[in-house]
């Protein structure tokens, strides 16, 4: 299942890059997978970690994921998929999308879901720390939300949720250190 998920992300995310960079998008997915693998050996969770952005960022549907990987993987991927509201400006929908994600995580307390989400947020903040060290506050210009205070609210809120189930893990502690470095100065 894991190798099938990996093959699919390389096919469907082919040619995509990270926002404002030339790095292949699949680098992020590999990072998320490796972080998740440090937290679990469950192949459903690990396949879902690889696939967490596939519906949001490609033309792949939840139904296709369900057919290829089963209901549990499809449910995890759906939980990680934002409603981007394609007809609206992403800058205008940023806050509502993040509020929806936080609400969903708070109300669906599930350690496996938290592993996937924490792995994604840690991979994101690892990249942000590296880039911030190179470019300083220009980093924020690449995002839909350009106000670091708003981004700080989001990541601190995520950390508060993850603390319940994963607060004693190395990955959580790394996430918290990244958040403190980027935002809680």
pLDDT of 91 reads 79
Mean pLDDT on 64-74: 98
Q: What is the CATH number of domain 2-182?
A: 1.10.3210.10
pLDDT of 54 reads 97
Please list the alpha-helical segments (H only) found in the chain.
2-12, 25-37, 43-51, 54-57, 62-69, 71-79, 90-107, 111-135, 148-166, 170-182
pTM, entire model: 0.95
112 given a catalytic annotation: no
The string of pLDDT tens digits covering residues 107-162 is 988 999 999 999 999 999 999 999 999 999 999 999 989 999 999 999 999 999 99
Q: 74: pLDDT confidence band, cut at 50, 70 and 90? A: very high
57 given a catalytic annotation: yes
Nearest-angstrom CA–CA distance, 97 and 94: 5
Q: Report DSSP letters for 156-185, one per residue.
A: HHHHHHHHHHHTTSHHHHHHHHHHHHHT--
| Domain ranges within the chain, ordered by starting residue | 2-182
Given 34, 56, 67, 83, which residue is catalytic? 56
Rg (CA), the chain: 16
Given 30, 42, 43, 57, which residue is catalytic? 57
The string of pLDDT tens digits covering residues 15-62 is 999 988 899 999 999 999 999 999 999 999 999 999 999 999 999 999
32 in Cβ contact with 25 (< 8 Å) = no
9 in Cβ contact with 30 (< 8 Å) = no
The string of pLDDT tens digits covering residues 90-117 is 778 899 999 999 999 999 889 999 999 9
């Amino acid at each position: 299942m894991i190798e099938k998920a990996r093959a699919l992300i390389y096919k469907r995310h082919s040619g995509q890059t990270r926002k404002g960079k030339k790095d292949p998008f699949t680098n992020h997915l590999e990072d998320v997978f490796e972080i998740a693998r440090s937290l679990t050996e469950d192949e459903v969770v690990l396949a879902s970690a690889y696939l967490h952005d596939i519906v949001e960022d490609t033309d792949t549907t939840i139904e296709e994921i369900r057919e290829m990987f089963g209901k549990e993987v499809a449910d995890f991927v759906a939980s990680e998929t934002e409603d981007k509201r394609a007809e609206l400006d992403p800058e205008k929908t940023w806050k509502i999308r993040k509020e929806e994600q936080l609400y969903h995580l708070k109300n669906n307390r599930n350690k496996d879901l938290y592993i996937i989400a924490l792995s994604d947020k840690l991979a994101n903040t690892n990249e942000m720390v590296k880039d911030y060290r190179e470019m300083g506050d220009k980093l924020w210009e690449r995002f839909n939300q350009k106000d670091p205070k708003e981004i700080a609210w989001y990541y601190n809120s995520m950390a508060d949720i993850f603390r319940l189930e994963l607060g004693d893990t190395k990955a959580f502690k790394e996430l918290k250190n990244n958040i403190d470095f980027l935002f809680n100065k």
